[in-house]
Amino acid sequence: MYEDKTLVCKDCGNEFVFTAGEQEFYAEKGFEHEPQRCKDCRAARKGGAKAPREMFTAVCAGCGGEARVPFQPREDRPVYCSECFARMREE
């Protein structure tokens, strides 16, 4: 009923095979559209969806050392390094 199809990945432009078994699976699940990306590009898209977080450097209000935080520090709020922050949470 189904035959292997050769498709072109919309990300990398390489050809990939949409097998008869995959087509049958898509039909069973009710998927209406053929895949647009090859396996490698789908895996990269799933795994690499999140961009690395931008980190900012500030002076720790507790020890005076360097603190790296995922937000833009403000002058009116203290910033703590991870060690001082953990110590404060324990208290």
**What does the pLDDT profile of the chain (91 residues) look like in tens digits?**
899 999 999 999 999 999 999 999 999 999 999 999 999 999 888 876 566 789 999 999 999 999 999 999 998 999 999 999 999 888 8
Domain hosting residue 41, numbered range? 5-47
- Neighbouring C-beta atoms of residue 60, cutoff 10 Å: 19
Q: Are residues 16 and 42 in the same domain?
A: yes
CA dist 7 and 24 (Å) reads: 16
Q: Are residues 32 and 13 in the same domain?
A: yes
Model confidence pTM above 0.85: no
Q: Are residues 38 and 10 in the same domain?
A: yes
Q: Are residues 16 and 40 in the same domain?
A: yes
Q: Are residues 43 and 67 in the same domain?
A: no
CA dist 70 and 88 (Å) reads: 19
Where are the alpha helices (H) located in the chain, listed in sequence order? 20-29, 39-47, 82-90
3-class state of residue 56 by DSSP: strand
- Neighbouring C-beta atoms of residue 55, cutoff 10 Å: 10
Q: Are residues 62 and 36 in the same domain?
A: no
Domains identified in the chain, total number: 2
Q: Are residues 61 and 31 in the same domain?
A: no
